[in-house]
Structure 1
Amino acid sequence: MSNSQFIGQLKQNNIQINNLKDQFYRTEAHMSAHENRLSEKVDDFMEKQNFDLKMHTMNTENPHHVTKEQVGLSNVINEEQATKEDFNIHLNDKENPHSVTKSQVGLSKVDNVQQAAKTDFDAHLEDKDNPHGVTKAQIGLSAVTNDVQAKKADFDKHTSDTSNPHNVTALQIGLGNVENIQQAAKSDFDNHLDDTNVHISKSDREKWDAAQLSKITKDNGSVLINVSQGVDFQSVAIGQRKTFTFYTAETGINTPPVPTRGMYLYSSSTYGEATAFGNDGSLWRKSLSSGVWSDWVNYETEQGSIKRLAAHSDNTDIHVTKGDKDKWNSPWNATWNNVSLINGAQQYPNLPFQFSVANNRLELRGSFGSLPAAGTVVAKFAYKTSALYDVGAQVVGSYGTARFAYTPDGELRFDGMSVSNSSARVSFNASIPLW
């Protein structure tokens, strides 16, 4: 095969390889899109199933057609029953509420007349003044037996006895299935039926059925989900399959670096948005797009910007101070400043005590008008040294010397002096290294 043929074959192979790559990428994209659509359809199906189940469980219209036999009430008829109060009134009614006749109680042949006592009846039978020999049959009492009968007072007392002297049972009066419990009066029952404060209407039920069914907070209003230490925020957000409020600890997985409280807005299993507010005033956002999570992004607030700027401005490790500038400036640019004396030390008017900083040295000159007791700090400076530095000063107007010490904290301490004339003044001309 010639060189040109080899090159031509190589180009053709490359074209075929590129075509195969293109087909592979398109197939991969098609499968990914199909997977997303399938996932969304599954989500929609699950939501519908959950909604149908909730509607069924909330249906109070006897969807399973339960019968009274199944709940143990087969003997109860669907009729209005008397209240206990009405039943007691009926029992106490002595006016023959049922219109009982003498025939029904076996006294059909007894006239409604008062009967004589047995003693009177016996006396009457023995009455010799009955020449006609009247018999029971002749006076309409042929059916009356010659037995002792109760007195009318006893009979009246018996008929007035409302304590159930015959031990009548509920079964005997046709109430064998009625339990001995107090029942509401019909007026009370009707009032209950008409109470719209405790009953709901069809429009109420339809309105509540159409309301939001998914909680985004707990019942007390606090955040719904707690993403604590070791819990993955991304897994929680996808697993909820709804919008919800949350708290994240800084020790959680895929959470902001500070404790936050926020809300996740759910669109589908592959799309969502999270916004969180940090305890330090920071604002964070995280997105789920096409199944891919972004990092948490911190949106700086005005307060946070001011705080960060202040922290930067106060960072003396990266900024220089006036003292630094004074130390680094050359002697030719040095300026002299009066020292603010403390603890009773006084300036000498004609030659005030002054300082200057140059070439990383503190220069002192001038005189004291008066000094406090030995061991007293007479001035404080912003310039520090690495160790205590002893300073000797001249005494003008007498023989002797004065002793001072410059401490690592920037304090100039008067340690005393030895002079022959107490009115002599102390004159400074010292240079103290600041390292």
Structure 2
Amino acid sequence: MIYNDAKQSFEITASTKRKITTGIQFSTQDIDTARLIFTLTKDREPLPLSAVSGKLVMFMADGSRFIKNVEIVDPVGGVAQYVLTSDEIKHYGTVNAELNLYYANNQALSVHKFSFNIDRALVDTDIAPIAEYYIDDFEALIAKVNELYDEAIATMEELRQKFSDLENIETKTGAQEKADAAEANAKAYTDVHANNKTIHITADERTTWNAKETTTGSQSKADKALGDAKAYTDTHANRTDNPHEVTKAQIGLANVEDIKQASFTDFQAHNYNQVRHISADERTAWNAKETTDGAQAKADKALTDAKAYTDTKVGQLTRTWTTIPLINGAVTDTTVPLRYRTKNGGDELQINGGFKSAFGTIIATGLPKVKYPTEFLVATVGTYGYLRMDYRVNGDLYLAGGTVNSETGISKISVNITIPLT
């Protein structure tokens, strides 16, 4: 491919955020060849771009706006590029642009604002471009539409509530009618209640009923009630079965264990039991029965067991290299063949060596399975560029491809990666 390149070097500092007016001038006839190349540095060192996605924002002279993904050409050397499309190059005039970087850890970085010019070629004097708006990140556009939809729904609900409140407003005439009806109902209820002889008594009836209880009868009832209460109290006081279910915690004994204590007789019998207990002389005699030869034999066995355990653990930490059988036309390097081994007790897998293969190919299968797939970059030997490989959960090793100056110029693809197995 042939490109009309415009190279820009941007140093990432807070003091260089001012807009840069460049001398870049493309033509409306630079169709799919107008390429912007950005070399990014920080503290005069290349800015790493391996975990970055870049966005180029362009405001065209006719009001069109484009937000596009840039291509990361060299993630180690801090190089990115963008080729204007055939639609974008038609919007002639001064273009105000800005390069932004978005990191995988949710950090974002505004690199520089700059401007360049698109000259209208003589053959394109009849061009009348229509204003366009294009956003590469369609998910962000969907989120914005959903946000506007939610706001519209909330506003409609608020208006509906207000109209509902208006419908419930009481007029003066309606309120008076309700008050008159309530007053009439209250008067009718009061009249009925006042004349109800079932629930009301007269003064004469009250006097007659009060006179029916004699002093003797009242005393008899009081004596009986006192006797019943005393009998119930005595019976309850003599109960020993914890009728109220009082717990240890309620009386401050939550930490006291329910342990049955031995009687003094049982304790004395245990104290003088010569079968269960030994004397000082017996202890001394038994301790002397361990011979020097017996002790040495035990020590030798312990040493042998410890050495075997240590050798086992060392073998688990770093196992020997195993050459990976390649498939689908992939060829291993003769000097350092593609190989693997487990590390750190079998928790990690290390892959090392070189090979050659066509892009978009499974080069090996049957390797140790992993919990999560891993995607990583590998280096090319013989030509400039970088490639991406995938280690899949089923143990397949896949060469996806990437960007290189010459695919046929690759003499070897070099791998050195450590992958977690769990």
TM-score higher than 0.5: no
Which bin holds the TM-score, normalised by the shorter protein? under 0.3
Bigger relative CO (Cα 8 Å, ≥ 6 apart) = 2
- State TM-score, norm by structure 2: 0.24
- State TM-score, norm by structure 1: 0.23
Task: Tell me which structure has the larger Cα radius of gyration.
Answer: 1
